């Protein structure tokens, strides 16, 4: 009996050894079949991540942030397998996106704040960088100033519509009515007014001095603590653009169309080579198709900067 038990134990040990040897052999064969697989994967991860590791850290400049975003945009266009999301944290901004237009727009808005950034990297389960967090380093003591100023400086620009100018004046009027400590002075310069330059903190009458046909340049000045203290509103002396604006939503004759509107468009494009506009009219292929007695309804579309980008003439 004991001898039989001994034979069974020996048999089990032999079987276990054989199984171990077979298993080891299979693993060995698999490794030999693709010996570079693990090395290749590690190399691919390192090479991919290396493109972005240099940007990680504190006190990163806006220029380097933009370079990083451009690299992300290029990667997402070329590499569908390893997409990177960018998360941007700043004053009133908490955005996660990989859309290139959204990224560029947000970064342009960050230029108004003179602060550096902290960039941190996040990885997916395979070790690839999958999210980059951009955190603008705004000191806590500056947050109140930024909150106050943003309600005004959002209107800053070189080609602002009359509607937005009036909105700005309304915001300043509301501030001056309730905030005795921080009164904002408004200076309006317009050569068409009898008093060409007006400076005042009493704004109710200024709304009537802003005309829809005009475009304006808006600039701000700040006090010693960084708060907005003055706004300068200057009418743009751009005759062609102002003349074009007068046609908005109007019905004009074919004669006016040919002799005035088209000439103003040509003049405007010559004066503004970086912001040219185009004329569209369904069915018209040539100026010769326009009869003096025809009527056209004019609609003008503007870009975010206030420049006309499309003028549509609908034949009535």
Residue 58 has pLDDT above 70, yes or no: yes
Per-domain residue ranges for the chain?
Answer: 43-138, 141-235, 239-315
Q: What three-state secondary structure class fits 61?
A: coil
pLDDT digits (tens, 9 = 90+) for 88-131: 887 667 788 888 888 887 777 776 667 888 999 999 988 999 99
Residue 107 backbone zone (phi > 0: left; psi -120 to 50: alpha; other: beta):
alpha
DSSP per-residue letters across 106-159: HHHHHTTS---EEEEEEE-TTS-EEEEEEEE---HHHHHHHHHHHHHHTT-EEE
Confidence class for position 31, pLDDT limits 50, 70, 90: very low
Mean pLDDT over each residue of the chain, to the nearest integer = 80
133 vs 207, more confident: 133
Say what the pLDDT of residue 273 is.
Answer: 84
Say what the pLDDT of residue 32 is.
Answer: 46
C-alpha 50/C-alpha 57 separation (Å) is 14
Say what the pLDDT of residue 20 is.
Answer: 59
Confidence class for position 13, pLDDT limits 50, 70, 90: low
pLDDT digits (tens, 9 = 90+) for 199-239: 676 666 777 778 777 788 899 999 888 899 999 998 877 66
Say what the pLDDT of residue 271 is.
Answer: 80
C-alpha 189/C-alpha 199 separation (Å) is 9
31 vs 194, more confident: 194
Confidence class for position 34, pLDDT limits 50, 70, 90: very low
C-alpha 10/C-alpha 18 separation (Å) is 12
Closest CA to 53 of 107, 135, 122: 122
- Which two three-digit tokens encode residue 252? 């004009």
pLDDT digits (tens, 9 = 90+) for 267-301: 888 888 888 888 888 877 777 888 888 888 999 99
143 vs 174, more confident: 174
Say what the pLDDT of residue 228 is.
Answer: 92
Say what the pLDDT of residue 48 is.
Answer: 92
For residues 159 and 165, is the Cβ–Cβ distance under 8 A? no
**Alpha-carbon dihedral 225, 228, 229, 232, rounded to 10 degrees:** 140
Strands of the sheet containing 228-235, edge to edge, are 157-161, 215-222, 228-235, 185-189, 197-200
- Which two three-digit tokens encode residue 236? 């743009």
Say what the pLDDT of residue 274 is.
Answer: 83
* Percent of all residues in the chain with a pLDDT value above 70, rounded to a whole number: 80
Residue 46 has pLDDT above 50, yes or no: yes
Residue 180 has pLDDT above 90, yes or no: no
Say what the pLDDT of residue 96 is.
Answer: 87
Confidence class for position 30, pLDDT limits 50, 70, 90: very low
C-alpha 140/C-alpha 131 separation (Å) is 26
Residue 314 backbone zone (phi > 0: left; psi -120 to 50: alpha; other: beta):
beta
Residue 29 has pLDDT above 50, yes or no: no
Say what the pLDDT of residue 24 is.
Answer: 53
């Amino acid at each position: 009996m004991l001898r039989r038990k001994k034979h069974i134990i020996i048999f089990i040990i032999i079987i276990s050894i054989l199984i171990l040897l077979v298993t080891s052999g299979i693993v060995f064969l698999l490794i030999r079949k693709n010996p570079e697989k693990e090395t290749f994967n590690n190399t691919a991860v390192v090479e991919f991540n290396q493109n972005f590791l240099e940007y990680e850290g504190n006190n990163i400049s806006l220029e380097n942030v933009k370079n990083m975003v451009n690299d992300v945009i290029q990667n997402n266009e070329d590499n569908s397998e390893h997409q990177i999301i960018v998360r941007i944290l700043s004053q009133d901004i908490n955005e996660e996106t990989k859309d290139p237009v959204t990224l560029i727009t947000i970064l342009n808005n960050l230029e108004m704040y003179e602060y550096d950034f902290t960039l941190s990297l996040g990885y997916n389960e395979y070790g690839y960088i999958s999210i980059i967090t951009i955190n603008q380093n705004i000191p806590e003591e500056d947050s109140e100033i930024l909150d106050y100023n943003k309600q005004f400086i959002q209107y800053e620009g070189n080609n602002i519509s009359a509607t937005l100018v009036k909105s700005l004046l309304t915001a300043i009027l509301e501030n001056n009515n309730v905030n005795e400590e921080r009164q904002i002075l408004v200076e309006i310069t317009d050569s068409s007014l009898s008093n060409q330059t007006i400076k005042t903190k009493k704004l109710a009458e200024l709304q009537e001095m802003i005309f829809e046909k005009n475009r304006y340049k808006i600039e701000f000045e700040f006090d010693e603590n960084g708060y907005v203290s003055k706004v300068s509103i200057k009418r743009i002396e751009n005759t062609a653009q102002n003349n074009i604006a007068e046609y908005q939503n109007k019905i004009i004759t074919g004669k006016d169309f040919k002799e005035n509107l088209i000439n103003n468009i040509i003049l405007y494009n010559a004066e503004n080579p970086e912001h040219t506009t185009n004329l569209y009219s369904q069915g018209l292929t040539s100026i010769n198709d326009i009869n003096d007695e025809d009527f056209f309804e004019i609609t003008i579309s503007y870009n975010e900067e206030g420049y006309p980008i499309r003028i549509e003439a609908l034949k009535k």
